[in-house]
Amino acid sequence: MSADMQGNVLMWQKFLIGLFGLSLVWAAPKAVADCAIIDQLDKLHTIQTRLAANPDTGLFATDIRQLRAMTHRLTPSEVQTAVGGSTLAGRGADVRRFLAQTRTMLTGVSLDDPNSVRRYFDSAARRTLGKMETHLRDLRCTDAQISIDSAARTAARSTSQHTTNTDEEDMAEVAENLRNIGAEVIAPRNILILIAVIAAVALGTPLVRRWLVLRRRRAKRHNTYYGTTYRDEKSTFEGRILDINCFGAKLERAKDHMLNVGDSIEITIDDQWTASQVVWSNQHYSGLQFSRAIGLVEVSAIIAASVTSRKRKTAP
């Protein structure tokens, strides 16, 4: 790869990183402070931190009941509105993951068995708890703010319970939810993230392909002397493999039989036909690239057979 091409690649990588960062910061929705919800998240985090440290306490059953009650009252949309951020990365994604892990844990835990909760606090869950602690430092409200917002939520819930919804109101609520989902899908931040991902894939694919080619070329080749057969669309020929690795081989062709670059053939590797393509060719030899890499077991079998063949050839 030339120096100019490397410079262009680095420039595009910096541009894409900047674009991705802007898409998360500039286009992320602003948090609408709801101290009641943030207080619930704080309590969820406190209880789970205690359970992760040692679930086998007298508070275990009470803790699980509290977790179930709090998660039942929280909806993903209102939590996302309260904490802000993107649902794909950063604080918003961490909170969404925290709630999902909490619900997963609650579906499999038993109130009579504190040890049933241990398997849910793996390394990923503990990382999420650590991230939540960091986010909650910035989100925590004062006691007065929590009291005001909690009272407002209680009043709203009481009004909702005393209101009888008609079918038209139910349909209107469904339509509103669908509009909110649509708005989330086409939100500027998600469009920018999608553009950044597509550009990264488009730029990265050629680099990955080149790396794979270099990897195949630099893989250690083992000298062999292995009699084999190979075939094209018309005939089958006798040949010999002179070196091999997992990705390809050097073939000594049958006399007066020519193979051209790009030809597709099949060659016998450890009694199995292996599809290959000719990547170089001269008067006597051809370089083959296997359509699918073979295993080290097959390579070792070819090497062992070659050693046996050489011993027989040199035996008196």
Residues 266 and 275 sit within 8 Å (Cβ to Cβ):
yes
- CA 253 to chain CA mean position, Å: 44
CA 71/CA 67 separation, integer angstroms:
6
* Residue 55 confidence class, pLDDT cut points 50, 70, 90: confident
Task: Share the mean pLDDT of the chain.
Answer: 77
Give me the CATH topology for the region 222-314: Thrombin, subunit H (2.40.10)
Give residue limits of the domains in the chain.
28-186, 222-314
Residue 280: pLDDT over 90 = yes
Residue 30: pLDDT over 50 = no
Mean pLDDT of 287-301: 88
Looking at residue 19, what is its pLDDT?
A: 55
Give 116-149 pLDDT, tens digit per residue: 888 888 888 898 888 888 888 887 777 777 677 6
CA 110/CA 108 separation, integer angstroms:
7
CB atoms inside a 10 Å sphere around CB 145 = 16
Mean pLDDT of 165-169: 56
Phi-psi region of 241 (alpha: psi -120 to 50; beta: other; left: phi over 0): beta
3-state secondary structure of 235: coil
Tell me the two tokens of residue 151: 């009272």
Residue 254: pLDDT over 80 = yes
CA 17/CA 23 separation, integer angstroms:
10
- CA 154 to chain CA mean position, Å: 41
Tell me the two tokens of residue 249: 């081989």
Residues 290 and 299 sit within 8 Å (Cβ to Cβ):
no
Beta bridge partners of 226: 241
Looking at residue 315, what is its pLDDT?
A: 47
Sequence-ordered list of residues with C-beta below 8 angstroms from that of 89, at least 6 positions apart, any chain = 24, 193
Pick from 186, 185, 203: nearest CA to 16: 203
Who wins on pLDDT, 251 or 40? 251
State if pTM tops 0.85: no
* Residue 20 confidence class, pLDDT cut points 50, 70, 90: low
Beta bridge partners of 280: 287
